[in-house]
């Protein structure tokens, strides 16, 4: 085998391992999203609101523009070197009974794989999981934290100042 062939072989191995890593990150991201959907009991039907297709929005981080809505989790999932991945979620909240005003509560989920461990950061807290097994992750503590933090964000009182909570709730008084 020539030296060039050896380089191509090493490159091919690297590409296959990287693709496998990306596929596994997608599986972890899907588990997180599905756990949140089930825990929060997010409706699967269309919200029947103009310009809104789903109660849950997938978001991709753009360093200049912030989070941008995506059609699928695969499009929202960003992969970084050394086993890191990130995506955002937006959860539609609407005042009852007429769904006005409404907004998406937005937050990021960061994953970091190191060997057999997976660390997931969300809303200022980190959770650690065994990543070597193919079994479902136990995400109840993560889901509980997301719910509790969203509720804490909603407990902020509207003031005369422009404020934004760390989870993306804009609590600026609305001028209709």
Encode pLDDT of 107-119 as tens digits. 999 999 887 899 9
Q: Which secondary-structure segment (H or E) carries 23?
A: helix 3-40
Encode pLDDT of 41-95 as tens digits. 999 888 878 778 889 999 998 888 888 999 999 999 998 877 799 999 999 888 7
d(CA 87, CA 167): 14
Distances from the Cα of 101 to the Cαs of 26, 60, 86, 119, 120, in angstroms? 33, 24, 29, 36, 32
């Amino acid at each position: 085998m020539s030296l060039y062939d050896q380089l191509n072989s090493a490159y091919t191995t690297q590409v296959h391992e990287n693709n496998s890593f990306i596929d596994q990150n997608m599986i972890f991201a899907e588990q997180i999203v599905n756990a949140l959907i089930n825990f929060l009991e997010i409706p699967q039907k269309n919200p029947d609101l103009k310009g809104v297709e789903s109660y849950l929005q997938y978001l991709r981080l753009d360093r200049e523009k912030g989070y941008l809505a995506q059609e699928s989790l695969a499009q929202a999932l960003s992969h970084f070197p050394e086993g890191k991945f990130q995506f955002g979620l937006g959860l539609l909240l609407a005042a009852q009974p007429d769904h006005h005003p409404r907004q998406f509560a937005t937050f990021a989920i960061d994953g970091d794989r190191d060997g057999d461990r997976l660390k997931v950061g969300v809303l200022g807290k980190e959770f650690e999981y065994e990543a070597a097994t193919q079994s479902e992750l136990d995400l109840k503590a993560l889901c509980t934290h997301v719910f509790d933090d969203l509720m804490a964000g909603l407990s902020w009182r509207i003031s005369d100042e422009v404020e934004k909570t760390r989870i993306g709730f804009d609590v600026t008084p609305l001028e209709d």
